Amino acid sequence: MALVAFCPKGILAPSSFLVVMVPIGVVTELMWLDALADRVVNLVEKEPNPFDAAKWACRMLDCPSCNEPNQLGQYLVLDNWALYDQIHARFFDGNPFPFQVTGEDPDALSTIQNTDLETWVHSADLRLGHFD
């Protein structure tokens, strides 16, 4: 299944945090969160030392330490209720999901290509209000 870069609209947060790769069609909030978790795993796997990078990311986002880089998305996104609450607190005009994705978003693709784990972690700390 071909994936395209997508950035959900209606969430006041940095695009470097929000963008994911999803299939064309209807994207639910759960699909987006799963794609976000996958993106985090891809980012940590690109690091020179994924194990140290995973531990650092967990420490920075006040999550339990993750000893396996391939589980970092689970720790930072899917099991992180504080992050989930912060995302929902930044919805404006209601929940933006489900969302119809009709094609590649070139800006989202560029953001994905130019964001490393450190940038993502800093933009994921929504408590600090780091916005693009």
Query: What's the structural domain count of the chain?
Result: 1
> What is the tens place of the pLDDT at every residue in 82-92?
888 889 988 98
pTM score, whole prediction: 0.91
> What is the tens place of the pLDDT at every residue in 60-89?
998 888 889 999 999 999 998 988 888 998
Query: How are beta strands 3-6 and 99-101 bridged, if at all?
Result: unpaired
Give the structural domain span for 57: 3-128
For residue 46, count CB atoms less than 10 angstroms from its CB and return exposed for 0-12, middle for 13-18, buried for 19 or more: exposed
